[in-house]
Chain A
Amino acid sequence: MTRLRSVWVPGLPHLFHPERSNAWKKLNESMTALGEEIQAWNPDLIVLYSSQWISVLGTSYQAQPRPKGVHVDENWHEWGDLAFDFPVDGKLSEAIMKETEAAGYPARTVNYEGFPIDTGTIVALQFLDPKGKVPVSLVSSWVYANSHSANALGAAARRAVDKSNQKTLVVACSLLTTRYFTEEINPGEDRVSSEIDDQWNQRILGYFETGALAEIAKLAESFTKETVTDMQFNAFHWLNGFWGETPVQGRVAAYGPLWGTGAAVAELIPKGD
């Protein structure tokens, strides 16, 4: 039985408004279907890296037992409240933090009432575990990470997950390109704002489909240089580090725009599973 599974998902509140745009609807439906598959798969744990949880003093790992509350998005605050309530696996967060430090990178756990949970985490969990049943370990996006260190951080997470020996869903919550439209748009006419970004995204996703992570890693520098990627594409490097030498196969369920950005719903699982 498969013990590890990973997904690449976007985390913008637009996904909760499928009625406004066919493109958003397509992504919403794919996220919903993926969430149903994950719930049927019934993981013991979720490890979620969010490009929208920015940390500065190294990587942060959430350890508050049960974050609960209401978050209002900084930009799309008029679209309502984002409620969240989910369990956290503090032991796993602690274990990943220790593996991170052992690898020579700064890390800390955070366990504070009222700690702000980011939009990406809330949106992703709402689709993947809407009932808030599965304990989660949240991973921040370290602002000073590069491809090498993000890869090492993913590998650190893998070591901790392997030691936990539990059925684990790994989530990379990130956009591909992030060239947002900076003005109000008609959501029905949303598109990836740059043709170059669009071409690059599709090229990257072609390799996702075949699980060719090494090929993506080779292209990542050019991708980041020629487009505007989400947090230097570090979610990918982290995910690539997580899988390490494990051969994977991929599936791209959907690709489309979210306010000009490039968003994909994709999956990577060990080859043969």
Chain B
Amino acid sequence: MSSANHKGSIVAGFLAPHPPHLVYAENPPQNRVKSEGGWEPLRWAYEHCRESMERLKPEVILVHSPHWTTIVGHHFAAVPELSGLSVDPIFPHLFQYEYSMKVDTELARLCYEEATSVGLNAKLMTNPKFRVDYGTIVSLHLLNPKWDIPVLPISANNSPYCTSLEVGQDQMVRLGEATRKAIERRGVRAVLAASNTLSHLHFSKEPDPPEDMSQEHVQSSAQYRWDMRVIELLRQGKIDELRAVLPQFMTETFAEVKSGALMWMLSALGFPKTPAKLHGYGTVIGTGNAVMEWNVNEEAV
């Protein structure tokens, strides 16, 4: 790990959606359930991310997941090693994953300090028996299946839902800024993973088997059009326009980005006007998933 005397930086950010179907389809040894594949275009998109990870050589991956929901503040995992069995409560028949991850607890502490210093409620999660949520695990697995890079799971504070969208998004902006400062103080090369699907309305009935791709399609044309509009804005680096339409997008498509991961990441990246790279788009049980990458600091590579 780099010395804390060296200023750290964010070398890339990824929009890294977490349908457990993608891990199920890959058949890694950690998942107890086996499949006949499926959702290849999205999994191939993640292969590009994995190639980037090899090239970027990050020292830590920070992941913000909507499936670790917290009511009081923003929480940072601060246990050196977290391991166990994670069964997805929604798709338990697809995802029963034995995970083991090393956590950058020092970075967690710095994130906590920076978050509280900008007036956010924050907390360190220090309970070693804590079960890591499937959103965190899926995004991390798809980016780095070797699990050989320390991570930092960050909770999704419930403020966008229990207060207002404006308050919630403002919190994520401040959390992103605090995260960036913490990374700089830690002196590490960091990758951010925003564990979010785009449009999130989905079918309530699964095909049999779930990987029957003849049944996979977008939930609605309106939802598809919204996803394309958002992706295109990101591809063109039109972040201000994106921020202006996000509330409507969230309302009309039940978009998971409402939980804050995308805003957190864009804020930490300094709301980059550089085009994001789209590695792939695909639907999973009708939801819209885009795998995207921001290389904002290529010179650091």
Hey, which bits of chain A sit against chain B, CB under 8 A? 53-58, 70-72, 74-75, 77-78, 80-81, 106, 110, 112-116, 144, 178-184, 228, 259
Contact = CB atoms under 8 A, between A and B. Distances in A.
Contact of B87 (A74, A115, A228): A115
8 contacts: A55-B89, A56-B90, A57-B204, A106-B204, A113-B87, A180-B158, A182-B157, A182-B158
A58 B129 contact: no
B162 interface: yes
A270 B75 CA distance: 45
A110 B130 CA distance: 22
Interface in B109-148: 121, 123, 125-127, 129-131, 133
Given A75-B70, A180-B71, A53 B127 contact: no
Interface string B213-235: 00000000000000000000000
Contact of A114 (B72, B96, B163): B96
B68 interface: yes
Given A57-B204, A112-B96, A77 B162 contact: no
Contact of B89 (A53, A113, A184): A53
Nearest to B91: A57
Contacts of B155: 74
Contact of B73 (A53, A54, A110, A183): A183
B255 to A, nearest CB: 16
A78 to B, nearest CB: 7
Contacts of A112: 87, 92-93, 96
B68 A74 contact: yes
Given A55-B90, A144-B204, A77 B125 contact: yes
Main secondary structure of the interface of A (DSSP, over half): loop
Interface string B72-85: 11010000000011
Nearest to A58: B204
Contacts of B131: 71-72, 116
Contacts of B125: 77-78
B63 to A, nearest CB: 15
- Residue picked from A53, A57, A144, A178, most chain B C-beta under 10 Å: A57
B77 to A, nearest CB: 10
A118 to B, nearest CB: 8
A57 B90 contact: yes
B195 interface: no
A182 B72 contact: yes
B130 A72 contact: yes
A184 B71 CA distance: 10
Given A74-B69, A75-B70, A181-B72, A110 B92 contact: yes
Nearest to B92: A112
A56 B91 CA distance: 9
Nearest to B159: A182
A114 B85 contact: yes
B106 interface: no
A116 B89 contact: yes
The 8 A-B residue pairs whose C-beta atoms are closest, nearest first, are A114-B85, A77-B127, A112-B92, A114-B87, A72-B130, A75-B70, A56-B90, A180-B71
A115 B162 CA distance: 27
A75 B127 contact: no
Contacts of A56: 90, 202, 204
Most buried by A among B70, B87, B162, B204: B204
A74 B92 CA distance: 19
A77 B130 contact: yes
Interface in B37-96: 68-73, 75, 84-87, 89-93, 96
Residue with the greatest number of chain B CB neighbours at <10 A, chosen from A80, A182, A259: A182
Interface in B148-172: 155, 157-159, 162-163
A72 B163 contact: no
B82 to A, nearest CB: 11
Contacts of B73: 182-184
Contacts of B91: 57
Contacts of A228: 162
A114 B88 CA distance: 9
Given A57-B205, A184-B72, A81 B127 contact: yes
B240 interface: no
B206 interface: yes
A112 B95 CA distance: 10
B121 A183 contact: yes
A182 B129 contact: no
Contacts of A78: 123, 125-127
A180 B92 contact: no
Contacts of B75: 75, 77
B75 to A, nearest CB: 8
B5 to A, nearest CB: 32
Contacts of A110: 92
Nearest to B125: A77
A178 B85 CA distance: 30
B147 to A, nearest CB: 19
Contact of B72 (A75, A80, A81): A75
Contacts of B123: 78
